[in-house]
Amino acid sequence: MPLETKPETEFGAPRPGLAQRGGSFAGVRAFRPVTPRRLVLICAMLLAVLFVAVVIALRMGTFPISIREIVLTLFNGAIGRRAEIPSDYWLVVFGLRLPRIALGILVGAALSTAGAGYQALLRNPLADPYVLGVSSGAAVGAIVSLILVPRLPGAIQIAAFVGAVATIAVVYLLGRRGGQLDSATLLLAGIVTASFLSAVIMFLMTTLSGRDLRGMSFWLMGDLATPPSVNMGWLYFLLVIGLATIYGTAADLNLILTGEQEARHLGVNVNRVKLVVYLAASVLTGLAVSVSGAIGFLGLLVPHVMRMLFGTDYRVLIPASAIGGAILIVLADTLARTVVAPTELPVGAMTAIAGAPLFIYLMRRRVR
Amino acid sequence: MNVLTGRGGLAAATAPSAEPRLKVEQASFAYSATDKSAPKFTLGPVSFDARQHELISILGPNASGKSTLLALLAGMHAPLAGRIALDGTEISKLDARLRAQRIALVQQESELLFPLRVWEYVLQGRYPYGRRLRFESEEDCLMAGNALAQVGADALRDRWMDQLSGGEKQRVILARALAQQPLLLLLDEPTQHLDIGGKVELLRRLRKLTAERLYTVLVVTHELNLAAEFSDRIVLLHKGKCLRSGTPAEVYDRATLEEVFEAPLDVDTRASGRPRVTLRGSEHG
């Protein structure tokens, strides 16, 4: 018998008798699976919030600029009428604040998506993007470049990315069992690698001079003040590839979360999905860490908040986490650079200070 | 004897000359820790077949090879030798999604990491029919609703999975398997955590589904008497070998059962013609 055709069981057709019984089928509409419509609605809503956050971030700072002027500047900039914009507005909006916001959005989206991916991959709600040591590897790369080529511009970010990629490869090799990624083994391999690399970081930090040491500790906490040495377009290109790759496995991740064996029986290629998610989430983490340092808490917090708001379905959770992470980091960075201006706080400290109470509030409020 | 269960007539009417749906021919398998070491456990060769409308129980003590046989039937491993075919196609050669459209396995469910509603859980059974991002279609919702109705769990639709009783949960898990619209329904110790009422209820339901629909049902179980009462045929495994297969009356032989289960047993025949196994108590001995 050809594989494509399956003998029709009478189960294949809805039973008229049942449908007519009213009660049992009237409720079918109450089923609310994720529809493309619902997905678009949620994303549009979150994007609107993100837009508001961006406007707030553009408004705040030492140089005063009103919301009306911001909107006008953005509008004229968007339609290419640069001549109509006063040059100081142009500089503040497009030269200073917007690039930093764009970097924040990139980092927030990458970390939150990676966090959601790791939580499913490791089947552990406590997993965050740093649990597998990617950020520690990036930090080692950054320190090594600070020691070897302290004056070379951009070297620190490239070295950090190389460190992250090397860690991804090592943890992958250690985290396999019987030739396949195994969640428990992977988690242990990642944690061991992370603590080993942390020890290396501590050791290397003692060799740094005072100025580098302060820069490094800021980097370890996360910071958006340094513009990336690589073209932002390339970074966004990598981000979109990473997001799309993870999103392609969303339906599979839903089933894997219910149980790996069961997912296999339902036809999911579990090994392939795990490998894809591991690579994509790790590259996203490496990307974020290389340009901004290890901004903490975001990658753990945002997926959980989005779960509480929109449910556990990864087809919604992944885009919602990406946008939600962007919103949170834009707001946190605005606070970080304004509360004790002109001094800046590390944004990583801000995400934790603002994020933890929000998380606890949502957790306590939740009734189910 | 078959008239009593109401099955024989139906089977004779619908599939008098049909090929067996499931054919297990001399299938064997071996587990070993590494590729080179000697096998730790060997199964087979096992042979039996199963038709539409048949409910077959796989019996045997612990470590007799029941789970291995089930893994082979579910297509998780290819047999080392022999052949397991569903409607003429070897199960292990089926693509994962096609396999999931034909074979459903009911296991003890894993612990859920995040809370899930019953309908979300049942809709997962539609996964093998989905397209790229697998947004559920109207038909998927209808099938999931249908599956819930078939196990009498319509009312549970909006409940949370972790707030169900053992019996309710078992019905929902069964519903997810039915939502796959399988030809072959495999159940791994489905009665394990149920009280006696729940066990009888579940097996009655399976019996009814088997008779009314075109399913072929295979149940791995430790329940000798329930298996005798509800199965068309029994496959008895012992130490990785298929000791006997046939109707309950053919398989339930006192000496065989005592040897396999290493317990003093009595086997008598009930008025229905089906055998009954009791423990030979010391007060009678």
> For a pLDDT cut of 90, what percent of chain B falls above it?
20
H-assigned helices in A206-267: 210-221, 232-248, 250-258, 260-265
Give the whole-angstrom CA distance, residue A80 versus residue B88.
Answer: 67
Among A170, A160, A158, A99, residue whose Cα is nearest residue A135? A160
Q: How would CATH label the architecture of A105-365?
A: Orthogonal Bundle (1.10)
Nearest to A265 among B87, B105, B130 (CB): B105
What is the distance in angstroms between the CA of the first residue and the CA of the last residue of chain B?
32
Mean pLDDT computed over B119-126: 90
Name the band, by pLDDT with cuts 50, 70 and 90, for residue A114.
very high
Q: Which of A98-102, A121-125, A340-344 has the highest mean pLDDT?
A: A98-102
Inform me whether the pLDDT recorded for B162 exceeds 90: no
Inform me whether the pLDDT recorded for B285 exceeds 90: no
> For a pLDDT cut of 70, what percent of chain B falls above it?
89
CB-based burial label for A48 (10 Å; 0-12, 13-18, 19+): exposed
Q: Which of A269-273, B10-14, B160-164 has the highest mean pLDDT?
A: A269-273
**Contact criterion met (CB below 8 Å) for A141 and A159:** yes
> Which positions in chain A touch B95 (Cβ < 8 Å)?
3
Name the band, by pLDDT with cuts 50, 70 and 90, for residue A27.
very low
> Would an 8 Å CB–CB cutoff place A38 in contact with chain B?
no
Tokens linked to B3 = 């008239």
Predicted TM-score (pTM) of the model is 0.84
Give the whole-angstrom CA distance, residue A209 versus residue A205.
Answer: 9
Q: Between B77 and B3, whose confidence is greater?
A: B77
Inform me whether the pLDDT recorded for A3 exceeds 70: no
Cβ of A15 within 8 Å of Cβ of B124? The answer is no
In the predicted model, what is the mean pLDDT of chain B?
84
**Contact criterion met (CB below 8 Å) for A144 and A273:** no
**What is residue B10's predicted lDDT score, i.e. its pLDDT?**
41
ipTM: 0.82
**What is residue B283's predicted lDDT score, i.e. its pLDDT?**
55
Cβ of A251 within 8 Å of Cβ of B130? The answer is yes
> Which positions in chain B touch A23 (Cβ < 8 Å)?
154
**What is residue B36's predicted lDDT score, i.e. its pLDDT?**
67
Distance of CA B50 to the CA centre of its chain: 12
In the predicted model, what is the mean pLDDT of chain A?
83
> For a pLDDT cut of 90, what percent of chain A falls above it?
36
- What residues pair up with B30 in beta bridges, in sequence order? B42
Q: Which of A153-167, A271-285, A344-358, B2-16 has the highest mean pLDDT?
A: A271-285
> Which positions in chain A touch B141 (Cβ < 8 Å)?
28, 31, 33
> Would an 8 Å CB–CB cutoff place B276 in contact with chain A?
no
Residues 115-144 on B with a CB inside 8 Å of A are 115-116, 119-121, 123-125, 127-128, 130, 133-136, 140-144
Residue of B nearest to A7 (CA): B183
Distance from CA of B269 to the nearest CA of A (A): 36
Name the band, by pLDDT with cuts 50, 70 and 90, for residue B133.
low
Q: Which of A225-234, B26-35, B153-162 has the highest mean pLDDT?
A: B153-162
Which of B90, B108, B132, B133 should we substitute to test contact with A (largest number of A Cβ atoms within 10 Å)?
A: B133
Inform me whether the pLDDT recorded for A195 exceeds 70: yes
Distances (CA, A) of A70 to A60, A65, A103: 11, 7, 19
> Which positions in chain B touch A33 (Cβ < 8 Å)?
120, 123, 135-136, 140-141
Cβ of A34 within 8 Å of Cβ of B110? The answer is no
> Would an 8 Å CB–CB cutoff place A342 in contact with chain B?
no
Inform me whether the pLDDT recorded for B35 exceeds 80: no
* DSSP calls for A111-134: HHHHHHHHHHHTT-TT--TTTTSH
Q: Between B95 and A211, whose confidence is greater?
A: B95
Inform me whether the pLDDT recorded for A8 exceeds 50: no
**What is residue B11's predicted lDDT score, i.e. its pLDDT?**
40
Mean pLDDT computed over A164-190: 88
Give the whole-angstrom CA distance, residue A266 versus residue A260.
Answer: 10
**What is residue B180's predicted lDDT score, i.e. its pLDDT?**
92
Nearest to A33 among B101, B136, B146 (CB): B136
Sign of CA dihedral A118, A121, A124, A130: negative
Nearest to B149 among A24, A124, A313 (CB): A24
**What is residue A275's predicted lDDT score, i.e. its pLDDT?**
92
Distance from CA of B50 to the nearest CA of A (A): 16
**Model confidence pLDDT, tens digit, residues A129-140:** 888 889 899 889
Inform me whether the pLDDT recorded for A302 exceeds 70: yes
Please write down the long-range contacts of A208-217, taking CB distance under 8 Å and 24 or more positions apart. Answer: A208/A143, A208/A146, A208/A147, A212/A146, A212/A150, A215/A146, A216/A142, A216/A143, A216/A146
> Which positions in chain A touch B114 (Cβ < 8 Å)?
125, 257, 307, 312
Cβ partners under 8 Å of residue A17, min gap 6:
none
Query: ∠ at Cα B116 (B100, B160), nearest 5°?
Result: 120
